């Protein structure tokens, strides 16, 4: 699995990198949203972890730009990872196209559960909701 982590704080990137590489997940990093968008142009990812508060373009705008693409990369699952605990921020992120939402600091179990849930939800959506043969 290849994940892109878009996060401006080097300490947060290091912590998440240690968690994911220990599980043999290939993690690519971008220190800002514009770099993240360039990496999405150049590489294929199974999932994006996106911070919201970054210098320059914020994560919300990056999510909108990813979802506005006219190729298969517009459907890459996105998990917002933020320290912002504003009351309706989760809803705003989901409305803009994020698939899930995590509050920093992230814990190993919560991160892996959210990644697994998001990937499974994405696969179910791609198969269509009318297959009826699988239990949830």
Per-residue model confidence as pLDDT tens digits over 58-96: 999 999 999 999 999 999 999 999 999 888 999 999 999
Determine whether domain 2-127 maps to CATH 3.40.50.2300.
Answer: yes
Say yes or no to pLDDT of 31 above 90.
yes
Q: Which of 3, 34, 39, 9 is nearest to 21 (CA)?
A: 3
Q: Is 3 helix (H, G, I), strand (E, B) or coil?
A: strand
Name the pTM for this structure.
0.91
User: Where are the chain's structural domains?
Assistant: 2-127
* The pLDDT value given to residue 129: 54
| Element holding 2 (H helix, E strand) | strand 2-6
């Amino acid at each position: 699995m290849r994940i892109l982590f878009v996060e401006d704080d080097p300490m947060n990137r290091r912590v998440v990198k240690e968690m994911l590489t220990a599980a043999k997940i290939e993690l690519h990093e971008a220190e800002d949203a514009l770099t993240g968008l360039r990496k999405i142009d150049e590489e294929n990812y199974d999932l994006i972890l996106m911070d919201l508060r970054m210098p320059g373009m914020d994560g919300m705008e990056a999510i909108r730009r990813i979802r506005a693409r006219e190729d298969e990369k517009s459907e890459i699952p996105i998990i917002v990872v933020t320290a912002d605990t504003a009351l309706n921020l989760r809803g705003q992120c989901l409305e803009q196209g994020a698939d899930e939402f995590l509050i920093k600091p992230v814990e190993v179990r919560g991160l892996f559960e959210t990644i697994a849930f998001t990937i499974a939800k994405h696969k179910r959506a791609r198969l269509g909701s009318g297959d009826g043969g699988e239990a949830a």
